[in-house]
Every structure is written in C-alpha cells, then in structure tokens.
Amino acid sequence: MFNHYPDWAQQLAQKYLSRTINQFILHGNVHDLVPLNKEGETDFVRLKEFFSKEFFGARDYVIFYDRSSGIYFRDQETQKDFNRALSGRDSLLGTDYADNLPKDPVRVFSLLEQYFRVRFDNKKSIALVIDYAETIVPMNEAGSTGSEDRTAMVYLSRWAQDPMFLAADFTTILLTENLADLNKTLVQHPYVNEITIPIPDQQERSAFIEFETSADVFSDISEVPQKVVAQQTAGLNFINIRGILSNAKQQDQKISTKRLSEAKKELIEAEAYGLLEFVETEYTLDNVAGHTAVKKHLRQAVKALNNGRKDVLPMGYLVCGPVGTGKTFMVTCFASEVGIPMVKLKNFRSQWQGVTEGNLEKILGLLKAMAPVAVMIDEADAYLGDRDQSGDSGVSSRVFSQIASFMSDTSNRGEILWFLMTARPDLMPVDLKRQGRAEEHLALFPPHTKEDRIELFEAMKNKSGLQLTEEYVPKLIKKDSNRLSGADMEAALTRAKFRAAAQNSEKVTPEILDAALNDFLPPTYPQEIELQTLSAVIECTSKELLPERYREMDRGEILEKIENLKLRVG
C-alpha cells in the first residue's frame, strides 16, 4: 500500500496504523524534496506538499503551523471551515481571531484544540504539521523553561495521550532538523515517536539527476558521467544537487570534477553551519619523511579500501607521538592517497543551552551521508572531553556519549574512518581508545637513524624552499645525537634562509647552513617530550611500528617512568 513511499514514510504509516501513537517527530533532512515512485517513474515533491496531497490526502483537514507564518491550510475548504468555527467562537466570547489570527503557540494551540474537539465529534479526520518545532518546545533545562514553552509542551503532551485524540483519526507531525534541539521531555514521551529523514543515498541521487535532466541534456551540461556525479554528491540533498545542475545550465559552465568538488565542499560546509572543514593537500605519503613502518601500514589500508575490503579496516586510528613529529601532515597525506574526502571537525560547542548537542547531531548525520569519509580530530584529548566531565550541566558528558556511540557503530566500518591525534594519549579516556572505536594506535617519533634524519632534512628542505649553492648534508644531521623534529628542522632551515638573505643571497652556502643549525636551540621541554614519547610507546598497538630501541623495553618500567614524569611536569 505504501511501497511507493520512501522508507521513513513507510515507517511512519505503519506506526500510525498501529493506532497507539498519533504524534511523530520527524528530524534530519526535513527541508528537502521527497521521492515518490509511481508506475516505474520517480517524482520529487516538497515535504509539505507530500503531506497535504499524498500522505494525508484522504484527511478531511490538513493544517500547518510555524511561529513565523502562523496557521495556514492545505486548501480553501479547510480554511473556510476553520474560519466558520472561529467566527462562532468570536461571537460567543467577543474576540476577533477570525480577522486577526494569532501566531504565538499558546493562543494558537488553544484555538486548535477547541477546533479539533468539535470536529472529532463530527467524525472528521485531521492532520497537523508543525514546522520548526524547536522554536515551539526548545531544549531547555527544566528550571529555565519559560511559561510559554511549558504551556506548549502541555498541549502537545495532552494531544499525544488524550483518549479522545487517540480514538480520532488525528496525527501531529513535528518537524525539526536536529532532535537535540527539542525539549527532551517531549522526545522521550512514551506516546511520541521519532523518525529520521536521511540525506539521499546514491540510488536516490541518481534517480533525481535523471528526473532533472534527460540523457542528451546531461551530456550538454557535464563533462562527468551521470553515475560519477551521483557518487561524488554524497552528503548533498536533492535541493543542493538541483542547484549544481541549474548553475551548470544557466551559467553555461559544464560540470567538471573540479567544479563538482568545489561545489560539494561549499554546500556541505554551509549545511554543517561551518563546523566541518574539508582538508585538502597536493601531497601524498611519498612526501612524508621517515616513519617508514607507519607509511607501509597505512598503504595497506589504502589497498584494502581500494579493493573493497572495508571489513578488514579498523573503525579508527589513534595517532600519537611527541609534538612536531608530523601527525597532522601524515594523516592529511593518507587521505589524499586513499582518494576519499577528509574533513576536520571545528569547534561545535556553544554557550547556549542545547546548541552543542544539536550541532553535533547535524555533523554526525552529514558524516553518515558523506561516507566513505575520513574524519580528523586534532588535539583529541582536549577536543572530545570525557564521560565524567562536569560543571557544564552535563553537556560534555552528553557530547562524549554521542561521539563514542557513533564511533562504535559497526555499520560505519570502512565508511567513516576516524583519526584521533594527540601528543598525550594518556589523557584520553579508555572508552575512545578501546577496540571497536580507535582500534589501531600508531606512534610517530623523531628520526632515530642517519637515513631517517637525511630523509627528513631533504623533505624539510623542499618544503621550506631552501636553495643550496651545492649538494650538501649538514654535519649536525649526520650526528647520532641529533633529535630535531620536523617542525624544529623547518624552523632551523628558515633561519638559514634568513642569514643568506641578510647577505643579499637567495641561495644558502654549506657554511651558512651549518652555522644556522649549530646555533639553533629548539624550545627545550625534555621532561614533557620524554613523557609524550613514552606515552606513545606504551600506546602503540603494533611492536613492528616501534623504533628498535623501544621494542624490547619492559612495559612495567615504562609505565613507572610515565607516572614519575607526570608528577614532575604537574
């Protein structure tokens, strides 16, 4: 009966037909088009049009409401019937609502309830659709909820469980993008059901592109095959895709891989309220100096993903090591090589009640729709918080639970690849580091062999744009005592360029280079660096990824050293 509806609408219909629930919260992609499959063809309509003409097409009356527009109706017949009822009320109570409809929830819900009860007596069927429900019953702590919010909450709760409303052919639909933005009392109400409207999958996107363009027209507006466009628009909704297609038609600029990538990046960052940032680089793992074993390990993951073996990939990686060892650069290069988009989570926390959880819900929904995707979280020990954090009304612990639950969803294996980076893995909660979440722990260290030091020097020389008067490897680089990190070496080479510039030369002589390196004193925090190094050693989940000097070290002894260092560095 409902086979031509999308899955979420079929779920809604089945739950309503159980006759035990009449109030539903629809959240997620609520401001998009709805695909309808009829007689082998797919049509796309607005959500409100879907409710008024299709889903509730047989209802006697369909009413819509939001705080801005107030009450509005499916058709003139419904409006006339409502106005007749309102005129009778006005003449009885001396009000003028028929000529001046209120828009505030309390008066609107009072009028609607009186209207509903009268029409239920006449065996009429009614559907009420409330848009932007988070503005009617917003997320608030119980003690800070305003009088208007509480009153609106009482009306909705009563409609959800009143026997008269349950016995009638009556449905309330509340629309909101983020479930976390709604009052939790309503979300958790036993007579209220929540249903997610997902962002379109590849099959739906492909059907929509066919709906918007015919085969011959599509070739006129795109250099990229239709199938590839459907694949590369993962994370976009139908309206976003329509914008890309319309722009190609109107601007007479064919869709190219580059334009498609730029448009997707811009649209998704906008959809995420600027809380997601795409990470792009022209480098690959070939540009990473040293870390040979780690690069080999990551390239095995690239091979597995390219061969479709998502089942063998870890849920996520914990990348640790002392500051300056190139953790962020390594992960960025991996994303470039594996050929999937990588995004970086920006600060989604807010001072306003409920906004933080809503932001995170939006972000996680987009990540699910964008899959396959890699997610980079730098300074993860500080960014993700802890289950036991307090002092912010429980926001941090709720955020932590949301992320931990999402990371452990096994359906995301090989689809959403997490990279948690930190110099202090010992500060991260075990919940995130355990198997089933950040399963593989990779440790990066400063170069320990002469070959690694020379390789790092060459890489930093190219990165900094250092030009030498002749091929030369500095004496300090060859010394076994040298422990410069990549960041240190880049800073030292920049100083060498500065000295050459002071002598009006663009190129650096071996003498200037040696002098600059010998003069360079990296910021010295020996105890902090040792703590970070040993923490990375103890955290690494693969012995072959450790430098040889650390492989046979007694782990009990390392743990004891770590505890002593923690006491010393505070």
The average pLDDT across 510-523 equals 86
| Global confidence as pTM | 0.76
- Judge residue 41's burial from the number of C-beta atoms within 10 Å of its C-beta, 0-12 exposed, 13-18 middle, 19 or more buried: exposed
Per residue in 525-561, pLDDT tens? Answer: 778 888 888 899 999 988 888 888 888 888 888 899 8
* Closest among 235, 240, 133 to 179, alpha carbons compared: 133
Cα–Cα distance measured from residue 563 to residue 505, given in angstroms and rounded to the nearest whole number: 50
Report how far Cα 409 is from the mean position of its chain's Cα atoms.
15
The average pLDDT across 278-295 equals 85
Cα–Cα distance measured from residue 375 to residue 148, given in angstroms and rounded to the nearest whole number: 41
Residue 272 banded pLDDT, cuts 50, 70, 90: confident
pLDDT at residue 379, rounded to an integer: 86
Centre a 10 Å sphere on the Cβ of residue 257 and count the other Cβ atoms it contains.
12
Cα–Cα distance measured from residue 433 to residue 344, given in angstroms and rounded to the nearest whole number: 19
pLDDT at residue 156, rounded to an integer: 96
Of 286-300, 340-354, 355-369, 375-389, the one with minimum mean pLDDT is: 340-354
Cα–Cα distance measured from residue 313 to residue 336, given in angstroms and rounded to the nearest whole number: 17
Query: 349 or 560, which is more confident?
Result: 560
Res 299 pLDDT > 60: yes
Of 38-52, 110-124, 242-256, 353-367, the one with minimum mean pLDDT is: 353-367
- Count of residues for the chain? 570
Per residue in 99-137, pLDDT tens? Answer: 788 999 999 999 999 999 999 999 999 999 999 999 999
Residue 286 banded pLDDT, cuts 50, 70, 90: confident
pLDDT at residue 215, rounded to an integer: 62
Per residue in 188-207, pLDDT tens? Answer: 999 999 999 999 999 999 99
Q: What percent of the chain has pLDDT over 90?
A: 35
Q: Which amino acid is at 399?
A: V
Question: Does residue 372 have a cis bond before it (omega within 30 degrees)?
Answer: yes
Cα–Cα distance measured from residue 269 to residue 258, given in angstroms and rounded to the nearest whole number: 17
DSSP state of 122: T
Q: Which amino acid is at 10?
A: Q
DSSP state of 519: H
pLDDT at residue 426, rounded to an integer: 87
Centre a 10 Å sphere on the Cβ of residue 542 and count the other Cβ atoms it contains.
13
* Closest among 532, 533, 562, 559 to 546, alpha carbons compared: 533
> Exposure string (b/e) for 57-89, b if CB count within 10 Å is 16 or more?
eebbbbbbbbeeeebebbeeebeebbbebbeeb
Per residue in 242-258, pLDDT tens? Answer: 999 988 888 778 888 88
Strands, DSSP E only, in 292-415?
316-320, 342-345, 373-377
Tokens at residue 196, please?
């997610």
pLDDT at residue 390, rounded to an integer: 57
Res 481 pLDDT > 70: no
Residue 503 banded pLDDT, cuts 50, 70, 90: very high
Res 276 pLDDT > 90: no
DSSP element (H, E) containing 406: helix 395-407
The average pLDDT across 281-291 equals 84
Residue 347 banded pLDDT, cuts 50, 70, 90: confident
CB-based contact 407:432 (threshold 8 Å): yes
Q: Angle 158-162-167 (CA atoms, 0-180°, nearest 5)?
A: 140
Res 335 pLDDT > 70: yes
